[in-house]
Amino acid sequence: MDSQASYDLSGAVAIVTGGARGIGKAVAHGLAAAGASVVLASRSGPELEAAAEEIREGGARAVALVTDVTSQEQIDRLVQFTVAEFGRIDILVNNAATSHLAPLLEFKEKHWDRIFDTNCRGAFLLSRAAARRMIDQGRGKIINITTVGAERGSVGMGVYNASKAALKMLTMCMAAEWAPYGISVNAVGPGLTRTEFSRPLWAHAERAGEYLSAVPKGRVAEPEEIVGAVLFLSSDQSDFITGQSIYVDGGYLAT
């Protein structure tokens, strides 16, 4: 069944960070197919505009704005741009992320700072800025893209996993504080997904084999398979759900 066809987001306005490729691009397409107007944000200019153009070619409304979520100034610009373009913000998908594979004993502070600034601080700053608009509207949906690594330790991924675990907890705290304003905040945690971002993992035979041996479904996810959970949490069908994490992992965390 087409997951987009199950949800009607007509009239909604969504921001998707990390929207130029991978999961973010798939989510932006899914939101647009469900009727939302979409603002795609990323540091990747040409790819970002191409992703927005693909959505427009399908008949939906989409615009792109190059944005670094580690910059408060650029976050404010993104929110102002979205409101100027579409008049409101109904949905925010915090998907922008970065990583660095290295053992903890060798991990450099500059990589730590970059990962936490992007994956956690950036998501917080943008969520706060969007929430202020959503409060005026009386409702809103924020979806943070985390990972199964927020629940499990793994070699070489310690700092990335820690940043996503922090984002999971931040999701719960934002949900608790902002529920009285009609804002729902939830997380979607993908398992290993076939994107360029995670290529060092799924394209490495030994690493992929070790991971997949613990996945009951026995394969890597495709970006489009993450979209359904995001659409559900963006829709009014999830209005009484907040502070939760949905893992799209082929059963990995069940083993």
Residue 1 pLDDT > 50, yes or no? no
Check the CA dihedral 99-249-51-8 and report its sign: negative
Domain boundaries, the chain: 3-254
Catalytic-labelled residue, pool 160, 211, 247, 252:
160
pLDDT in tens, 213-233: 999 999 999 999 999 999 999
- 151/145 Cα distance (integer angstroms): 14
pLDDT tens by residue, 120-167:
999 999 999 999 999 999 999 999 999 999 999 989 999 999 999 999
160 included as an active-site residue: yes
What topology does CATH give the domain 3-254?
Rossmann fold (3.40.50)
Tokens linked to 47? 């790819």
Q: What is the model's pTM? A: 0.95
